[in-house]
Amino acid sequence: MSALRAVIFDFFGTLTRSVRRGPQHAEIARALGCDPEVVRGVLDRTFHSRAKGAFGSAEATLRWVSEQAGGRPRPAQLRAAVPARVDALKADTQLRLDAVSALTEIRGRGLATALISDCTHELPAFLPSLPVAGLLDASVFSVEVGFCKPDPRIYLTACERLGVRPEECVYVGDGGSHELTGAEAVGMTAVRLAAPDLADHLVFGRDTRFRGAAVDSLTELLTLIDRRPVLV
């Protein structure tokens, strides 16, 4: 087993608690002249395409979603909806109580940390305002690189930015987007976060084939990490 040099995290449902869309999303849909439930359906079935940046900028993506839902929003409505959606996604996001302490402990062990997230334009906009931002040595956002988990390139991009090899990494995620088996496929050690609150987590592409290690909390993850030799 290679010495450990880095721990890489998923964001939604891993560094955060369970995520569900709050009421602000319905307000945004109505402001764009759309039925909120129709918009919800468009968002759900197009998540991975949007997370790859397939429809362009944040404003262009909102226009596309609105038109798919039957709306014809004016430019001013779209411009107002972009920051509103950032606020809505941020409102949906509650960091785990042990996220900051776990990242601090991991870095204190001499390990690098990174984030890999299948996300749309909003997460890169609000992540810098969160307490975990300064505890991450690299962040890879699908909407910026153009591919989602489990594409090997997204894991290898994180490794390249950290200057490590996949076999020197632990990857931690709740299992959306087939991320755990994807991490294993490139040589990482994958760990499922199986926190109790994830029973109602909004997830796309649940990784049902993963049979590896699982922890109930990020604090418990530290015990598992300490079983690996660390290269410093």
CATH code (residue 97): 3.40.50.1000
pLDDT value at position 231?
A: 56
Closest CA to 144 of 127, 161, 120, 167: 120
Q: What is the pLDDT of residue 2?
A: 75
Mean pLDDT of the chain: 93
Q: Are residues 53 and 111 in the same domain?
A: no
State which of 92, 112, 135 marks the end of a domain.
92
**pLDDT score, position 201:** 61
110 and 207 in a single domain? The answer is yes
pLDDT in the model for residue 206:
73
Asked if residue 147 and residue 75 are part of one domain, the reply reads no
Of 14 and 229, more confident? 14
Residue 54 sits in the same domain as residue 111: no
Same domain, 105 and 200: yes
The answer to whether residues 97 and 211 belong to one domain is yes
Domain annotation covers residue 1: no
Q: Does one domain contain both 121 and 162?
A: yes
Neighbour-count burial of 62, counting CB atoms closer than 10 A to its CB (0-12 exposed, 13-18 middle, 19+ buried): buried
pLDDT value of position 211: 84
DSSP string over 5-65: -EEEE-STTTTB------THHHHHHHHTT--HHHHHHHHHHTHHHHHTTTT-SHHHHHHHH
Domain boundary among 48, 64, 92: 92
Tell me the pLDDT band of 223, cut-offs 50, 70 and 90.
Answer: very high
| pLDDT beyond 80 at 142 | yes
Residue 130 lies in a domain: yes
Tell me the pTM: 0.93
DSSP helix/strand/coil, 100: helix
Q: Do 61 and 156 belong together in one domain?
A: no
185 and 119 co-located in one domain:
yes
For residue 205, what pLDDT is reported?
62
What is the four-CA torsion angle of 46, 48, 50, 53, rounded to 10 degrees? -150
- Residue 231 in domain: no
- The parent domain of residue 163 ranges over 6-19+93-225
Write the pLDDT tens digit of every residue in 45-67.
999 999 999 999 999 999 999 99
154-210 tens-digit pLDDT: 999 999 999 999 999 999 999 888 999 999 999 999 999 988 887 666 666 676 778
Separation between Cα atoms, residue 138 and residue 152, nearest integer Å? 17
Residues 56 and 12 in one domain: no
Same domain assignment for residues 120 and 185? yes
Domain C-terminal end among 67, 92, 117: 92
* 68 located within any domain: yes
Structural domains of the chain, count: 2
Say whether the peptide bond before residue 152 is cis (omega within 30 degrees of 0).
no
Query: Is residue 232 in a domain?
Result: no
The answer on 189 and 84 residing in a single domain is: no
pLDDT at 62: 97
